[in-house]
A and B are shown apart, each in its own frame.
Chain A
Amino acid sequence: MKIIIVGDGKVGMTLTEFLSQEGYDITVIDHNPKVVNHVINTYDVMAINGNGASYDILVEAGAARADLLIAATSSDELNILSCLMAKKIGAKNTIARVRNPEYAQQLVFLREELGLSMVVNPELEAAREISRILRFPTAIKLDCFSKGRVDLAEIKLPERGHLAGQRLCELYRICKEKILVCAVQREERVIIPDGNFVLAAGDKIHITGTHAALASFFKAIGMFKEKSKHVMIIGGGKISYYLAHQMLDIGVDIKIIEKDEARCLELSDRLPRATVICGDGTDQDTLIEEGLASSDACVVLTGIDEENIVVSLYAQSLGIAKVITKIDRISFTDMVESVGIDSFVSPKTITANRIIRYVRAMQASGEHSVKTLYKIVNNQAEALEFLIPQDCTYTNIPLKDLPTRKGILFASIIRRGRVIIPGGDDHLEAGDSVIVIAVAEDFIKNLEDIFM
């Protein structure tokens, strides 16, 4: 499949990396010759130096035969124009990154009238992910499947707790809830555990289950944290705006600290119910004065990774229940984890995940395709959701007898709105949604790929 990526900034580069690993034919267009050189040297792709909205450049990049064009330059207008041009030249699908909140209302028009296949807004996506975690702060990260029916939560096992030293098959005895530990990260390794797996302190575990089941499980093991009620947001960028908007709607008390006075005015104009403070969010006195110590949660969203990390460490030292940090450079993630920051979001990874999911789904025919995809455990494993089609040949066979490939685990089955945490005797039925965890070497593009 032929994919053109216009603009190789943070998101474009992440996409180039992931998609070229998955074996697609990729052509990158960027106006900076240095970026073009870097891309050619680092990844197995073709790169063209030029303006991604210029007819000649698009033709040269082969837009006429492209299956997909992804426009991810820093300019919304250029992205939209580039998609429109490519569509007219003959590209089958187009994805534009549009981040300006003023355009957010016209997304439907962009999709339906202008023919864009998908419009992604990294800041909005990041804000959604943060708000999910804030609603369920026990988890370091939280992903949803099947319109929120099933949650996939990541937690880190504390030094002293009920779980360390437990066998997984004994978990049900402790909490009487139907949950499933589906992936464990121990140091750098990913493990897909079986019933005899023994947990250890410091493991990061990924658990699936319904929201309610997870909540009572965490209560049973004494790790449950209440939903955040008083949230302090440091930095007043686009993510802060979207996040505050979402949190205010569900009645959470929001305080935003932003340096720039004009931006503060704008925020207070658009978010009348939020408290907007004009001050330096990296200044200790300001933070104390504004009551950081008494908030339930602190979300650090300034534009500089280093500041975010330092402020987060400070907030953690004050004993705040939940600290979420924005990290832009993924090369930092290992280091961030090692200094003890667990909850962090990276807008570009989130965006890249959304687009990769779309690409995989596009490649598979119709209903066999991937419905949801998250990369978990530092991109080492994937959680995928499929719909079992009517003509599937693997239905009504107990899971333990299915010829699944190595490194595949059935995490949940959603049957007529009810969530089943599957055991070896459960089976698949047509119309089910099934959630699968995969650490396979090859990439899973459709349902058939998980079987031998």
Chain B
Amino acid sequence: MNYKMVAYLLGRIFIIMAVLMCLPLILALVQKEDTCVGFIVAVLAQLLLGFFLCKRKPENSEIYAKEGLVVVAGCWLLTSLFGALPFYISGEIPSFIDAFFETVSGFTTTGATILNDIESLSMSALFWRSFTHWIGGMGVLVFVLAIMPKSHATQSMHIMRAEAPGPQVGKLVSRIQNTARILYAIYIALTLLEVACLCFAGLPFFDSLLNSFSTAGTGGFAIKNASIAAYDSAVVDMIITVFMFLFGINFSLFYLMLSGSILQALKSEELHWYLGMIGVATLLITLNILPQYKGFLNALRYAVFQVVSVITTTGFITADYEQWPVFSQTILMILLFVGACAGSTGGGLKVSRVLILIKASFSQMRQQIRPRSVTALHLEGKPLEAGVVTTVMAYMSIYAFTFVASHLLLSLDAFSYATNFTAVATCLNNVGPGLDAVGPVHNFSDFSLFSKIILSFDMLAGRLELFPMIALLSPTTWRRR
């Protein structure tokens, strides 16, 4: 472990986070809200620590996979701790664990909340809540890479890989810094577009901005107690559905389209499956809930919103789907595991990983029947590299173990099985709402502190794709080389 370099990189991240936190601070000062004390403390603490750690650049600036994992995990854990300070100090969330849970839920773009009354929060706190979604969506470190001086960027692929979602990480262009910049440019452009659309649909600017932040990160923090249902507008539903869908697409496809290869982008296998799953699920649910709603179009509006909201792991709500038939609820819970496309801001297993699993399973079955047959697996028209299938299988097992362990620990609280199961599922997949006591009209406030810590860990593990958080727990990581 190159501790000095890890500390140095973390220091840089703290400084950048402090600068980003100045935005809600300014809002708090302008609105003369009590939260400004909390923000000032958090900004100063991060600046001081940041400058202390960055005082001297270590001579040995080599970082390898291990350091990459630790930097990413450490960064997410520590920025969540700092990010919780404003909520805690201002007293808007009296318990620190609750504040930490809320911030982790924000940065990991989960959108699970412990707040019973969201509307009672101050404007700056609401802003910070949604802004954490936006920062966490594309990744804190990708942002750091985008603005870091060139000389640090040589081995940053380890960092990019540890933070970026999906089984295979591809660069868009040869320089990692340019890749990060392109990703953020697309991200910012789409966010602004959504803000404009929502304003146009008649939402106040503040609401448009915050809801756009939540959509962009596929987070799901709403600023109304009733989530998006509070606006009760078909146009708003449609706009948010479309943008949730867009933010769930692999960003490299946007880059392909921008650089002129629209046809090639539309040929993406993952995109087809993503579209197909949304289409089939929407159709089934619409037919299933038709008796509860007036007319096909009305049913379609709620079905498509909820399907897209869950598959992209956003977690916005326009309908209390617990009133829907169990068949529809089950479809939503299945989609919750699938998640969005690799390389998007969404969570879950990722469509491409599911695709690889399906293909590998079929090829294994064929192998059982005809032991001598040889099949090469393809994804996106290219043969899969040898290690990828094994890695995905391993990911799947670790995912299952994490799931089983957390859900066993959670069962110490006296909740129903559906509550515990979906609570872990929704946190590990960064969605937000589950079923029963964590259903769309409930929240996580009743869990014990211990359970909240477990769920915070799950959210971080889910967002960072397990390995960084697991690496943090492994003693071999901390040994000196």
Interface residues of A (CB under 8 A from B): 2, 20-21, 23, 25-27, 33, 40-46, 49
B176 touches A25 (CB 8 A): no
A42 to B178, CA, bound (A): 17
Write the chain B residue with the least CB distance to A23. Answer: B150
Q: B473 CB to closest chain A CB, in angstroms?
A: 24
Does B155 make an interface contact (CB < 8 A)?
Answer: yes
Given contacts A41-B158, A44-B156, 12 further A-B contacts (CB under 8 A): A23-B150, A25-B174, A26-B174, A27-B174, A40-B157, A40-B171, A41-B157, A42-B155, A44-B155, A44-B176, A46-B171, A49-B385
Top 3 A-B pairs, shortest CB-CB distance = A46-B174, A25-B174, A44-B154
Q: List 9 A-B contacts (CB under 8 A).
A: A2-B174, A20-B154, A21-B154, A25-B174, A40-B171, A41-B65, A41-B155, A46-B174, A49-B385
Does B414 make an interface contact (CB < 8 A)?
Answer: no
Does B189 make an interface contact (CB < 8 A)?
Answer: no
The number of chain B residues touching the other chain, given as a range, is 10 to 19
B153 touches A44 (CB 8 A): yes
A23 to B386, CA, bound (A): 32
Does B201 make an interface contact (CB < 8 A)?
Answer: no
Q: Which B150-190 residues have a C-beta within 8 angstroms of A?
A: 150, 153-158, 171, 173-178
A201 to B221, CA, bound (A): 71
A24 to B40, CA, bound (A): 42
A148 to B153, CA, bound (A): 40
B175 touches A25 (CB 8 A): yes
Query: Which residues on B sit within 8 Å (CB–CB) of A46?
Result: 171, 173-174
Write the chain B residue with the least CB distance to A50. Answer: B382
Query: Which residues on B sit within 8 Å (CB–CB) of A41?
Result: 65, 155, 157-158
Query: Which residues on B sit within 8 Å (CB–CB) of A33?
Result: 385-386
A40 to B157, CA, bound (A): 7
A44 touches B157 (CB 8 A): yes
Query: Which residues on A sit within 8 Å (CB–CB) of B176?
Result: 44
Q: A145 CB to closest chain B CB, in angstroms?
A: 31
A2 to B171, CA, bound (A): 15
B385 touches A44 (CB 8 A): no
Query: Which residues on B sit within 8 Å (CB–CB) of A42?
Result: 155
Q: B333 CB to closest chain A CB, in angstroms?
A: 36
Q: Which of B150, B154, B158, B177 contacts A43 (CB 8 A)?
A: B154
Query: Which residues on A sit within 8 Å (CB–CB) of B174?
Result: 2, 25-27, 44-46
Write the chain B residue with the least CB distance to A43. Answer: B154
Query: Which residues on A sit within 8 Å (CB–CB) of B155?
Result: 41-42, 44
A41 to B160, CA, bound (A): 10
Q: A193 CB to closest chain B CB, in angstroms?
A: 25
A25 touches B173 (CB 8 A): yes
Q: Among B153, B154, B173, B174, which residue has the most Cβ atoms of chain A within 10 A?
A: B174
Query: Which residues on B sit within 8 Å (CB–CB) of A25?
Result: 173-175, 178
Q: Among B150, B154, B156, B158, which residue has the most Cβ atoms of chain A within 10 A?
A: B154
A2 to B174, CA, bound (A): 9
Q: A27 CB to closest chain B CB, in angstroms?
A: 5
Write the chain A residue with the least CB distance to B174. Answer: A46
Query: Which residues on B sit within 8 Å (CB–CB) of A45?
Result: 174
Write the chain B residue with the least CB distance to A41. Answer: B157
Q: Which B119-153 residues have a C-beta within 8 angstroms of A?
A: 150, 153
A77 to B150, CA, bound (A): 37
Q: Mark B309-353, 1 if CB is under 8 A from A, else 0.
A: 000000000000000000000000000000000000000000000
Q: A425 CB to closest chain B CB, in angstroms?
A: 38
A21 to B175, CA, bound (A): 11
A26 to B173, CA, bound (A): 9
Query: Which residues on A sit within 8 Å (CB–CB) of B178?
Result: 25
A191 to B155, CA, bound (A): 29
A20 to B174, CA, bound (A): 10
Write the chain B residue with the least CB distance to A49. Answer: B385
Query: Which residues on B sit within 8 Å (CB–CB) of A44?
Result: 153-157, 174-177
Write the chain B residue with the least CB distance to A441. Answer: B151
Q: B199 CB to closest chain A CB, in angstroms?
A: 39
Q: Mark B12-45, 1 if CB is under 8 A from A, else 0.
A: 0000000000000000000000000000000000
A20 to B157, CA, bound (A): 14
A167 to B459, CA, bound (A): 67
Write the chain B residue with the least CB distance to A27. Answer: B174
Q: Among B153, B158, B171, which residue has the most Cβ atoms of chain A within 10 A?
A: B171
Q: Among A25, A26, A44, which residue has the most Cβ atoms of chain B within 10 A?
A: A44
A25 to B176, CA, bound (A): 10
Write the chain A residue with the least CB distance to B176. Answer: A44
Query: Which residues on B sit within 8 Å (CB–CB) of A23?
Result: 150
Write the chain A residue with the least CB distance to B385. Answer: A33
A44 to B153, CA, bound (A): 7
A40 to B156, CA, bound (A): 10
Query: Which residues on A sit within 8 Å (CB–CB) of B65?
Result: 41
Q: A8 CB to closest chain B CB, in angstroms?
A: 14
Query: Which residues on A sit within 8 Å (CB–CB) of B153?
Result: 44
Q: B180 CB to closest chain A CB, in angstroms?
A: 11
Q: A226 CB to closest chain B CB, in angstroms?
A: 45
Q: A38 CB to closest chain B CB, in angstroms?
A: 11
Write the chain A residue with the least CB distance to B172. Answer: A46
Q: B85 CB to closest chain A CB, in angstroms?
A: 35
A41 to B159, CA, bound (A): 10
A23 to B150, CA, bound (A): 9
A9 to B107, CA, bound (A): 42
A40 to B154, CA, bound (A): 10
Q: A156 CB to closest chain B CB, in angstroms?
A: 27
Q: A373 CB to closest chain B CB, in angstroms?
A: 22
Query: Which residues on A sit within 8 Å (CB–CB) of B150?
Result: 23
A33 to B154, CA, bound (A): 20
Q: A114 CB to closest chain B CB, in angstroms?
A: 27
A134 to B149, CA, bound (A): 45
Write the chain B residue with the least CB distance to A26. Answer: B174
Q: B174 CB to closest chain A CB, in angstroms?
A: 4
Write the chain B residue with the least CB distance to A42. Answer: B155
A23 to B151, CA, bound (A): 9
A26 to B174, CA, bound (A): 6
A172 to B386, CA, bound (A): 66
A43 to B153, CA, bound (A): 9
Write the chain B residue with the least CB distance to A61. Answer: B174
Query: Which residues on B sit within 8 Å (CB–CB) of A27?
Result: 174
A49 to B176, CA, bound (A): 18
Q: Which B201-237 residues have a C-beta within 8 angstroms of A?
A: none
A21 to B152, CA, bound (A): 11
Query: Which residues on A sit within 8 Å (CB–CB) of B171?
Result: 40, 46
Query: Which residues on B sit within 8 Å (CB–CB) of A21?
Result: 154
Write the chain B residue with the least CB distance to A2. Answer: B174
A41 to B157, CA, bound (A): 6
Write the chain A residue with the least CB distance to B65. Answer: A41
Q: A50 CB to closest chain B CB, in angstroms?
A: 9
Query: Which residues on B sit within 8 Å (CB–CB) of A40?
Result: 157, 171
Query: Which residues on B sit within 8 Å (CB–CB) of A2?
Result: 174
A23 to B153, CA, bound (A): 11
Query: Which residues on B sit within 8 Å (CB–CB) of A20?
Result: 154
Q: A316 CB to closest chain B CB, in angstroms?
A: 34
Query: Which residues on B sit within 8 Å (CB–CB) of A26?
Result: 174
A3 to B10, CA, bound (A): 33
